[in-house]
Structure 1
Amino acid sequence: MSEAPTDTHEVHGVDGVRGYLHRPDGPEVAALALTHGAGGDCSAKFLVDVATTWSAHGVTVLRFDLAFRQAKPSGPPHPSKSAADRNSVVLAVEYLGSLTAAPLVVGGHSYGGRQASMTVSEGLSAVGALLLSYPLHPPGKPDKARTAHLPGIDIPTLFVSGTKDPFGTPDELRLAIASIPGPTELLEIDGAGHDLSAAKHRVAERSFEHASPLFGTAR
């Protein structure tokens, strides 16, 4: 992993958790376990931006690597081993919960968000889910929708998605989100693609602004 920013410390080899922990300077309002997509790791600039911004608003953030990335430095995850990636989410949430009594949020970008949402549908306890660029279907294959587990999500869930994301249009997402029994919100990022990383979109700041009232973690 790349060098951690100065306001974080590295977590490695702790109950199968590998990543970086961001601690807020002021009063703590929540905690967020945040993971990466299929093509990167927890040092992705976008994740660092989200972690830094949320931490500045009083959130303890653990950005962590999924099992497939801990096993190999590059390359995509294998579908047959996705259960191990979901277990990474569970371990990260448990570790974060051992550090703080603050309300816990779980989330991730793309593949990581999908795995996080699946752990929630399987019973993971959290006050909210943050799904950044949820990969609703493979690009150009809307018939391959990844929605079977969505009706099992009963906690507040914020979807953040670019209007130019090939993994799902806003209209497709709205239709899928309607199957979730818990409170939901879709934050559309006009003109953004799947990576959501352009500074002009202010995704880190805007996601916190929308998540805080939805998850009940406002100061």
Structure 2
Amino acid sequence: METSERKFLATPEKGEVSALLVRPRDASHVLVLGHGASTNMRHANLQTIAERMADVGIATFRYNFPYMEHGKGRDSQAVCTQTVRSAVAAASEAAPGLPILAGGHSFGGRMTSMAASESPLDGVIGLVFFAFPLHQPGKPDTQRAEHLGAVRVPMLFLSGTRDELAAMNLLGPVCEKLGSLATLHPLDTADHGFKTLKRSRKSEEDVFVEMGRVAREWASGLG
């Protein structure tokens, strides 16, 4: 398995950001993976996601948004969506020939979907959302999902049944409205950070292993 640190130009104004490529020898796809709003590409959750994806033959290209790279205030949405596009292009160069998936945990996934709704991400055949942040905690709403109707590639939602940022009774109908392009996989007893209730969880499968398995099965069915 190849693990390499890289740099790429996020935007001309914000400069370069860091990235990590984890590529198993038998890689079938490369997943461009954005981090959560208050974390970075080295966060334990993103690291574990990358490891479990590698176990099922999916390479990952994790990256920092400029504000996290440089320790400054949150970037504008325009900067974040341009960074997503730049990351996709950098991943294509880093892992040539592999079909590209894009997404991320929480904020990283939402910025990816925003970018894809504005115009298609070059070479991306599907989006993977790890805990899509549908609304603020305690403020159930679906406004953050309105742009998803403009996305033109298949989307996989991996969302915990205890996620306080994505009430399942709202996320389910959102995915139904998106029709065949959306696949929702509920993660039993998982919260927004994928912590589970072991005593009441129906499955003995580790939640990160579950996400890897489901992502591989879903990706293998894409054209």
Task: Classify the TM-score, shorter chain.
Answer: 0.7 to 0.9
Q: Distance in 2 between matches of 1:204 and 1:86?
A: 26
Structure-2 residue corresponding to 1:3: none
Q: Larger deviation: 179-188 or 48-57?
A: 179-188
> Match of 1:55, SS?
helix
Change in CA separation of 1:57 and 1:199 when aligned onto 2, cut-off 3 Å: farther
| In 2: Cα distance, 1:28 partner to 1:187 partner | 23
> Residues of 2 paired with 1:197 and 1:18: CA distance?
27
CA contact (8 A) 1:162 1:191 kept: yes
Distance in 2, matches of 1:41 and 1:171, equals 30
Residue 189 of structure 2 contacts residue 196 of structure 2 at CA under 8 Å; is this kept in 1? no
What is the TM-score with the length of structure 2 in the denominator? Answer: 0.84
Taking the aligned partners of 2:99 and 2:17, their CA distance within structure 1 comes to: 20
Opposite residue 27 of structure 1, the aligned amino acid is: D
Specify which of 100, 106, 116 is matched with residue 104 of structure 1: 100
Deviation string, structure 1 residues 164-217 (Cα, Å, up to 9, x no partner):
111121121011123325522111111111111569662332222222232236
In the alignment, the residues of structure 2 paired with residue 129 and residue 92 of structure 1 have an alpha-carbon distance, to the nearest angstrom, of: 14
Contact 1:154–1:180, Cα closer than 8 Å, also in 2: no
Residues 1:195 and 1:103: Cα distance change in structure 2 (over 3 Å):
same
Unaligned runs of 5+ in 2: 11-15, 199-204
Alpha-carbon spacing, 1:144–1:215, altered in 2? closer, same or farther (3 Å):
closer
Question: Separation in 2 of the partners of 1:22 and 1:217?
Answer: 22
Range with bigger deviation, 11-20 or 119-128: 11-20
Kindly report the root-mean-square deviation, in angstroms, between the aligned alpha carbons of the 2 structures.
Answer: 2.4
1:8 to 3, 27, 37: 3
Q: Which 10-residue stretch deviates more, 157-166 or 137-146?
A: 137-146
Instruction: State how far apart, in whole Å, the 2-side matches of 1:209 and 1:137 are.
Output: 27
Letter of the 2:20 partner, please give it: Y
Aligned position for 1:124: 121
Instruction: Note if contact 1:103-1:217 (Cα within 8 Å) is conserved in structure 2.
Output: no
Match of 1:67 in 2: 66
Matches within 5 A, 1:183-194: 183-194=181-192
- What letter corresponds to residue 138 of structure 1 in structure 2? Q
- CA 177–153 in structure 1, closer or farther in 2 if over 3 Å, else same: same
Paired residue type of 1:216? S
Q: Structure 1 residues 155, 181: CA separation in 2 closer, same or farther (over 3 Å shift)?
A: farther
CA distance in 2, matches of 1:199, 1:143: 25
Is contact 2:133-2:166 (8 Å) kept?
Answer: yes
Q: Decide whether the 8 Å contact of 1:19 with 1:65 is kept in 2.
A: yes
CA positional deviation for 1:144: 6.1
Instruction: Kindly state the Cα deviation for residue 27 of structure 1 after the two structures are TM-superposed.
Output: 2.3
1:10-89 equivalences in 2 (<5 Å): 10-13=5-8, 16-24=16-24, 26-72=25-71, 77=74, 81-89=76-84
Counterpart pick for 2:161 among 157, 160, 163? 163
Paired amino acid for 1:48? Q
Runs of at least 4 residues off by over 6 Å = none
Q: Does 1:209 align with 2:213?
A: yes
Over 3 Å counting, the alpha-carbon distance change for 1:157 and 1:113 in structure 2 is same
C-alpha separation in 2, matches of 1:49 and 1:121: 28
Mapped partners of 2:125, 2:147: distance in 1: 18
Q: What SS does structure 2 have at the residue aligned with 1:8?
A: strand
Is the partner of 1:134 in helix, strand or coil? coil
